[in-house]
A and B are shown apart, each in its own frame.
Chain A
Amino acid sequence: MLRKFRIVIWIIVALAGAGLAFLLLRPASSGPPQSQQIEMVDFGGPFTLTGSDGKPFSSTRLEGKPYAIFFGFTHCPDVCPTTLARMVRLREQLGASGERLQILFVTVDPERDGPAEVGKYAELFDATVTGLTGSLAQIEQVKKKYGIFSRKVPSEGGDYSVDHTATVLLFDSRGEFTGTIAQEEGDQAAIAKLQRIVA
């Protein structure tokens, strides 16, 4: 009887101790990391895709170069060409320092956009816009790394369009994510962000 009582007491003590430990440790372990997660959303990282020549394109080719990466698809008639045209125009406005800036166009529609399609599309804007595609799995992986959302939307005639993140992501020459350029953002703010990575 006494033994049973002692066991119950010990169980209560153990539970109280665990509860106290949880209460004491919780702020320390979940407080700061939460805010850190919000501040340190880290996009990017190494990838291998396919270039317009049909050969693998490794992100190691970007080492030491600042770059802007944009995801879209070649059947996109409005937002994609508008964004790429804008990036090319902004790069020109940077002057000589802008020449270092790489502009990458990655398709979110690899089923329709093969190497030839992304290559020709990229050439429309500038010889130095790099068009990239890959297998479905490769594209999914890169989308995930860069925080890109995309979803097919059926349109008339059995065709489809693709809803997709149209924000341009910026990386400095060390490959560090430095910020984004949104569609609705003014040129002045965009130029300032670009100047920081090409400097």
Chain B
Amino acid sequence: LLIPPVLFRAATAAAVFLLASCSSGEQPADIAVGQAWTRETVAGQTSAAAYFSITNRGGRSDRLVLVSSPLAKAASLHSSSSEGGVARMRPIADGLAIPAGGSAEFKPGGNHVMLTGLSQPLKAGTSSELRLRFERSGERRVELRVLDAAASGGEPRSHSGH
């Protein structure tokens, strides 16, 4: 089988071009944050935990470095863990990496955003905003819904207004 030289050269060029375009430069991080929720609080409670999920469909890892919300004076990344039945809560230092093509789950009993210095008790059925700053992707703003305190991560129960 004889391939005309012109066609052969064209095919080679096309192959080289395809290979080059595949490997040239990584795709940027592509960060999406799902809707966030927290629980209602009563007067006297100064903090609340916020939960959400982050997915990175991009080709580069990114890092969640800063969180804030108009509801609280400060917000920080925390992690709860349990050892021998003893629950511990510790700050997550230096932010949280979201690997390329990966995700991070902020859920009850695990990683969460701790909202401290609540300006007022959080009421079920209301909503506010959670701002998340990523090292590469910049800021994402998502709705932060206040759910009935009996809501749990896996099966959030219906709350007032529904």
Q: Do A and B come from one complex?
A: yes
Please tell me if the beta carbons of A82 and B47 are within 8 angstroms of each other in the complex: no
Please tell me if the beta carbons of A163 and B86 are within 8 angstroms of each other in the complex: yes
Please tell me if the beta carbons of B42 and A124 are within 8 angstroms of each other in the complex: yes
* Stretch from B11-19, B58-66, B146-154 at the A interface: B146-154
Chain A 109-165 interface residues, beta-carbon cutoff 8 Å to B? 116-117, 120-121, 123-126, 149, 153, 155-157, 159, 161, 163-165
The reply on A85 being an interface residue by CB < 8 A is yes
Please tell me if the beta carbons of B86 and A164 are within 8 angstroms of each other in the complex: yes
- Which of B49, B82, B85, B88 has a CB less than 8 Å from the CB of A77? B49
* Stretch from B28-36, B108-116, B132-140 at the A interface: B108-116
Please tell me if the beta carbons of B47 and A116 are within 8 angstroms of each other in the complex: no
Interface size class of B (residues with CB under 8 A): 20 to 34
Q: Given contacts A120-B43, A163-B88, could you give 14 more A-B pairs where the C-beta distance is less than 8 Å?
A: A75-B46, A78-B89, A78-B109, A78-B114, A79-B82, A79-B89, A79-B108, A85-B151, A124-B149, A125-B149, A156-B91, A166-B86, A166-B87, A180-B85
Which residues of A are interface residues toward B (Cβ below 8 A)?
74-79, 81-82, 84-86, 88-89, 116-117, 120-121, 123-126, 149, 153, 155-157, 159, 161, 163-167, 180, 182-184
List 29 contacting pairs A-B, 8 Å CB cutoff, sorted by A. A74-B44, A74-B45, A75-B47, A77-B115, A78-B49, A78-B114, A79-B89, A84-B149, A85-B39, A85-B151, A86-B152, A89-B155, A89-B157, A121-B42, A121-B44, A124-B39, A124-B41, A124-B42, A125-B149, A125-B150, A153-B88, A155-B91, A159-B116, A161-B89, A163-B86, A163-B87, A163-B88, A163-B89, A165-B87
4 A-B pairs with the lowest CB-CB distances in the bound complex, closest first: A166-B87, A82-B108, A124-B149, A120-B42
